[in-house]
Structure 1
Amino acid sequence: MSAFNDIRDYVAIPRVLSLKLSPDGSRLVSVVQSLNPDGKSYGTALWAIPVDGEPYRLTRSAKGETAAEFTDAGDVLFTSSRPDPTAKDAGDEVPALWLLPRAGGEARQVATRPGGIGAVRTAGDVVVFASDVLDGEEAAEEERRKARKDAGISAILHEGYPVRYWDHDLGPGRTRLFAARLGVADQDGRLEDVRDLTPDAGDALRDTSFTLTPDGATVIATWRVPLPRGQMRIELVAIDVATGERRVLVAEDDHDFTHPLAVSPDGTRVACARERHTGLDVSVRNELWIGDLATGQGRGYAPDLFPTDVEWAPDSSAVYLVADHQGRRPVFRVPVEGEHTRLTQDAAAYLGLNASPDGRFVYALHSAVDRAPGPARIDAVTGEVDDLPSPAPRPDVPGRLTEISATADDGTTVRAWLALPENASADNPAPFLLWIHGGPVASWNDWQWRWQSWIMTAHGYAVLLPDPCLSTGYGQEMIDRGWGNWGPRTLADLDAIVDVALARDDIDGERIAAMGGSFGGYMANWLAGHTDRYKAIVTHASLWNLDQFAGTTDASMYWQREFGEPGSERYANLSPHHALDKITTPMLVIHGDKDYRVPIGEALRLWWDLRRSEVESKFLYFPDENHWILKPGNAVAWYETVLAFLAQHVLGQEWKRPDSVA
């Protein structure tokens, strides 16, 4: 037995979420998520990880802590909604900025805002943070927020697009950046001289990424610019911390400049991702861009690598970059002059890069499909990886992982991970589950807390995790071949790799099912209407009617670039709902009502279409969840319902309604 057999044990596993290295290179700080005592929610805490010692916990509060950043002096800044013990009035529980002294002692609250404090960056004696601000007179903001709340007003008047993002409404407040000096504090230790750097930002800083130059003099930030017909582009701007003066650093009509974002230690260059605008015949392409901070002149690097994280080498000669690659996510070294090289050679995924001040090491979160994230030290010359003691021990997975590949009908190689139960053999072949990833521009290459294949393996299933067309890490051609051709091209790739898997003697080719979420849910719906090889299909947060989806999602402008104007031919060709009359496979539909990326209308329409067509089906509905099912109890209900549905239709067992949804 393992933690994967009982979902309640699984959701209680602590999770390492981030990693930040101190300026002197002596310790890391990590945000660790764990189950709260009530068992109904998760909390977070900061842990210290000495580079040559054992981890220890730094913070403990009911509200938890996030966004850890080191000051140059080695103190830790973080955000938390914990109450301030020195305040006369606790006020609304919005995140405030706290400082934990390096020398020890209690954390103290150093800054608050009526709309809370979000992302934080610091350099020198400067701290810059993001906050949600109502339009109008700033001095009266707290009173205006209270008046709005007391009057029971939740209405938001929009004059632009978008209006929602993933799982939350946009407005009535909008993001601005504020700056303060760490050495300027009142008698209670709170920051004084807090200044609004971006009073005219409007919606430009929505979902912003920003960083500081090493001297703390300049903020480099992403800046959204509205375009006609609901479109937009994202520029990079430089904001003078002393004056608030803003200049455009780089802007291109057909590209966005986005996260990840980092300034070189010598303060002369910025590295970020440059993503080209797509079109009917122009696929997504993302590359590392390095530009001069003085002139804004720059160029793209490593065009086949989609940057996920970047970190500068201490001497500013190169950037360390993590990007999907052949079912892994290695660390690459990209010199400012010269060709990039792969630093790590294992079958792992890395994130949260931190270069040591002496240039000898790169610290990162180290994980894989069969390995939960934990801290690691990478030799910057040899790429040798050493795991560090982790504040959250990694669970042992209940099975074995292997890799398979197939040749698609157009000659392209399609590869996949295959997770097998330990006892799967020719004498005991395992039932088979195809699990299709979301995105669609993504890859199965890392540990998944939400889409956990090892839970299914613990219950006896062989789980195939394929990277078909549109997957990252296989060059631009892999994305191009599926662009604007989602269903047919992806299905052909999936058929090829599934055929290879089912030819194995340790897999039962008769007891097979398919499932997926988001784009994977779209493909699950497509499979349902275009093949009858599966005994059951589970579709989560899925796209059903593309025309409907493209006009109700939180980012219609993005999808319209690929599919065209509403009602165009591509919607008709690729929408799964047109094959409703071909569906005979039992389906489990799952959706959260707070999902704004794939709105609940997709599931409601699919559910009604299945009912009126008398397709055997069930609908697992979460009124309080979004695109992901995040609450521990709801995660239990999700997995238990999926397992019960598969047991009925794949294993031939009698349907038993799980206790979690009884």
Structure 2
Amino acid sequence: MKRLSIMFCLLLLPFSAVQAEEKLLTQELIWEIERIGSPLISPQGGHIVAPVTSYDMDSDEGATRLWLFSEDGEVQRPLTAEGQRVSNAVFSPDGSKLAFISQRHKDEEGQIYVLPIDEPGEAYRVSDVPTEAYGMKWVGEHFYFISRVWPDKDWDEIKERRQHEKDSNVSAMKWTALPYSQFDHYLDENRQAHVFRIPVEDGDSTDAIEAITQPMGIELPRSSQGTSSYDVSPDESWIAFNSNSSDNQVNPEIDIFLARIGSDSAENLTAENTAPDGNPLFSPDGQTLAYTRQQIAGFYADTANIVLMDMDSREQREISGDWDRSARGLVWLPDSSGFYAAIDDAGTSRVYHIDAQQGHVSAITEETNFSGLSVADNGTLIASNESFLHPARLVRINPNSGSVTRLDSINDELLADVSLGTYESVTYEGHDGQEIQMWVHYPPGFDDSKEYPLFLLIHGGPHSAITDGFHYRWNAQTFASWGYVTAWHNFHGSSGFGQDFTDAINPDWITAPYADTIAAADWFKEQSWVDSERMVAGGGSYGGYLSTILLGREHPFKSLVIHAPVYNMYSQMSADFAVHSERFGDYWDQPEIYQDISPHYFAGDFETPALLIHGQQDLRVPVGQSFELFRTLQSRGVESELIYFPDENHWILKPNNSVYWYNEVQDWVERWAEPGSR
């Protein structure tokens, strides 16, 4: 059996002594950590900016500041004031100024602000967008941004409409077509998302706003839009953007459109592909447009390949079709010869170099997760780096050697005396004899001569592998600090292990992941340091679904934690995502699929005690799913509890609610599996 160890300072004290004397990574401490977001390096190098978010437990709110760093790690200071929210930072082409989105003073909506970098000065506002600016880019002499507008109204009429909405006592919403929601918010179908621009100078007026996509009558995807939804060529001649090319909003066909800026028409570059095409990126020399292409409609985790289009000849070629990984997190190299990318690869988000000519790929980094890549014209590559044992850090990467230099010291003082456990990657034989990768976390002071309880975590998605990063909502090291061996197994369906592995569970969501889960439990039973009589499991979203499947099947777990589960495939039709309908058909056309995999059909066998958790604002898996499951368990006399958050969505995001969530989970698992070694 192959075992790849990634060990960090194993402490030899008994767990009880560690718990009594050492500082642990508790649920409260997690919310003291300052969270570094994706960094950005100035075009000429030298200046690096990253958002840093901190949370206040008394106000139950977070605030984000922009921090300035340098390539040599000598500079580390805040740029923006405390207590405000900032996002979407971009440098000017010459690197002397920084623009960002913020809502300050009397702003009704988020606006564009500019801050000098090379000289003293305060941030000043440069936009006046009644419907908010977001998804901003600084290209040439203009700021480009997205705003959701009423397409039949001018800016004065939009201002009046916004004021009317604020003054109105009517809360009703009306839809004539899908989509009507996205994760945690409802959509106004009368508004459309379009790209606009304003001049860098003298843009602080609605008269200065120029509509780019609106004259074409082609809106950006209705459910979600951002900086990856469009790109502008370096000379500001062209815009490439995403849109739904189909009149069918239930199952949209997301394509790439290309238009000259100032035109009233656009060309659909990907009309022949019914699966999603996205992430348009012009090369720095403006000669090539890159985008990602999937091939299976209705399968969001289908492998995304890179397509390059020559802007002169319009010739398109796919360069990554032979590589069994999805192209994500792409940034062009300064010389337009290829890309750096942060790739989900076998349980780790690695940095890769991808050659634009031949499509040759080579890994630059090995262990721990990297994301948020940014590269300067001089080739300096920066990123954020995290692992299960440390939150995101700002780093510089040597593309030739893969060596990493840290550029920040944020959180060092806070975490200096925290006792952490260890973790490692193991593999075991799962469904059909295939190798399954699993992360195993050991508590502080782990002693392999003793026995520990197991808390097996089941990830969501289902096509979202657990990679070597710091997780705030389901932190395995926090669970381990309670006195549990904790594990994440990347069962069949997980991303980053190849197309066949990821697609192996469609449409049968049960067979392979269930077998992989039981095989994981069997692997732990064989370890001398696990007490097979003290095993619990749980997960959220799809992890909640699979935990619900366990309710009605044989398993070794004394209790389950079930967060935001898909329980009833029929009522899941009320969500913003109806699972299999687009690819495999609706339940009235393919009833056997839904009968085979919907947990509510197995309710007659439910026996395991379960803690259920759900948020009212969850529109991805509506809260009724947990209410149905709770009534089922209570009707069957199964010991169960339901925790309901009226102000949370698919995730528990507010600091005090999160601490409460962790405390309740801890109380529940300790009730059924006593923590600590024996």
Same fold (TM over 0.5): yes
Match of 2:153 among 92, 114, 137: 137
Specify the alignment match of 2:543 in structure 1: 520
Q: Which amino acid aligns with 1:486?
A: W
Q: Deviations over 1:23-64 (max 9, x none)?
A: 111121111110137341111110111111231100014331
Specify the alignment match of 1:146 in structure 2: 163
Contact 1:14 1:34 (C-alpha < 8 Å) held by counterparts: yes
In structure 2, the CA distance between the partners of 1:413 and 1:250, relative to structure 1 (3 Å rule), is: same
Q: Deviations over 1:276-323 (max 9, x none)?
A: 23469x983322333333416232515411123001111111111221
The alignment partner of 1:486 has SS state of coil
The more displaced of 285-294 and 112-121 is: 285-294
- Is 1:36 paired with 2:52? no
The alignment partner of 2:456 has SS state of strand
The alignment partner of 2:28 has SS state of helix
Shift of 1:133: 1.1
Q: Which amino acid aligns with 1:416?
A: M
Contact 2:47 2:71 (C-alpha < 8 Å) held by counterparts: yes
Contact 1:235 1:252 (C-alpha < 8 Å) held by counterparts: no
Shift of 1:228: 4.0
Specify the alignment match of 2:575 in structure 1: 553
In structure 2, the CA distance between the partners of 1:392 and 1:28, relative to structure 1 (3 Å rule), is: farther
Q: Distance in 1 between matches of 2:152 and 2:504?
A: 49
In structure 2, the CA distance between the partners of 1:206 and 1:112, relative to structure 1 (3 Å rule), is: farther
The more displaced of 100-109 and 411-420 is: 100-109
Specify the alignment match of 2:3 in structure 1: none
Q: Deviations over 1:386-430 (max 9, x none)?
A: 222244448456200112111124121001110101323244322
The more displaced of 315-324 and 561-570 is: 561-570
Q: Which amino acid aligns with 1:67?
A: N
Q: Distance in 2 between matches of 1:225 and 1:629?
A: 35
Contact 1:424 1:506 (C-alpha < 8 Å) held by counterparts: no
Shift of 1:20: 0.8
Contact 2:179 2:223 (C-alpha < 8 Å) held by counterparts: no
Q: Distance in 2 between matches of 1:298 and 1:198?
A: 26
Specify the alignment match of 2:79 in structure 1: 58
The alignment partner of 1:304 has SS state of coil
Shift of 1:461: 0.9
Q: Distance in 2 between matches of 1:5 and 1:368?
A: 14
In structure 2, the CA distance between the partners of 1:177 and 1:37, relative to structure 1 (3 Å rule), is: same
Match of 2:213 among 185, 193, 198: 198
Shift of 1:249: 3.1
Q: Which amino acid aligns with 1:284?
A: D
Match of 1:272 among 285, 291, 310: 291
Specify the alignment match of 1:11 in structure 2: 31
- Is 1:576 paired with 2:599? yes
In structure 2, the CA distance between the partners of 1:345 and 1:18, relative to structure 1 (3 Å rule), is: closer
Q: Distance in 2 between matches of 1:61 and 1:146?
A: 29
The more displaced of 135-144 and 466-475 is: 135-144
Q: Distance in 1 between matches of 2:82 and 2:110?
A: 13
Contact 1:4 1:10 (C-alpha < 8 Å) held by counterparts: no
The alignment partner of 2:510 has SS state of helix
The alignment partner of 2:276 has SS state of strand
Specify the alignment match of 1:659 in structure 2: none
In structure 2, the CA distance between the partners of 1:36 and 1:173, relative to structure 1 (3 Å rule), is: farther
In structure 2, the CA distance between the partners of 1:203 and 1:215, relative to structure 1 (3 Å rule), is: closer
Percent identical residues: 26
Shift of 1:241: 2.9
Q: Distance in 1 between matches of 2:112 and 2:431?
A: 56
Match of 1:20 among 40, 57, 66: 40
Specify the alignment match of 2:401 in structure 1: 382
Q: Which amino acid aligns with 1:133?
A: V
Specify the alignment match of 1:175 in structure 2: 193
Q: Distance in 1 between matches of 2:239 and 2:419?
A: 44
- Is 1:423 paired with 2:445? yes
The more displaced of 287-296 and 29-38 is: 287-296
The alignment partner of 1:29 has SS state of strand
Q: Distance in 2 between matches of 1:651 and 1:50?
A: 48
Q: Deviations over 1:517-562 (max 9, x none)?
A: 111111111111112410110011110011221x111033x63134
The alignment partner of 1:366 has SS state of strand
Q: Which amino acid aligns with 1:168?
A: H
Alignment of 1:573-652 (within 5 A): 573-651=596-674
Task: Answer 1 or 2: higher relative contact order, Cα 8 Å, separation at least 6.
Answer: 2
Specify the alignment match of 1:217 in structure 2: 237
Specify the alignment match of 1:349 in structure 2: 369
In structure 2, the CA distance between the partners of 1:35 and 1:631, relative to structure 1 (3 Å rule), is: same
When the two structures are aligned, how many residues end up with a matched partner?
638
Alignment of 1:433-472 (within 5 A): 433-445=455-467, 446-472=469-495
Q: Distance in 2 between matches of 1:269 and 1:404?
A: 42
Shift of 1:205: 5.3
Q: Distance in 2 between matches of 1:649 and 1:267?
A: 61
Match of 1:162 among 175, 179, 185: 179
List runs of 5+ in structure 1 lacking aligned partners.
Answer: 84-89, 654-662
Q: Distance in 2 between matches of 1:426 and 1:353?
A: 39
Shift of 1:227: 4.2
Shift of 1:238: 2.3
Shift of 1:179: 0.8
The more displaced of 228-237 and 402-411 is: 228-237
The more displaced of 582-591 and 199-208 is: 199-208
Shift of 1:381: 2.0
Q: Which amino acid aligns with 1:40?
A: D
In structure 2, the CA distance between the partners of 1:635 and 1:534, relative to structure 1 (3 Å rule), is: same
In structure 2, the CA distance between the partners of 1:37 and 1:421, relative to structure 1 (3 Å rule), is: closer
Contact 2:38 2:384 (C-alpha < 8 Å) held by counterparts: yes
Q: Deviations over 1:372-393 (max 9, x none)?
A: 1111111122222222224444
List runs of 5+ in structure 2 lacking aligned partners.
Answer: 1-20
Q: Which amino acid aligns with 1:350?
A: F
Q: Which amino acid aligns with 2:351?
A: V
Q: Distance in 2 between matches of 1:113 and 1:4?
A: 47
Specify the alignment match of 2:258 in structure 1: 238
Shift of 1:219: 2.2
Shift of 1:10: 1.8
The alignment partner of 1:307 has SS state of coil
Shift of 1:222: 1.2
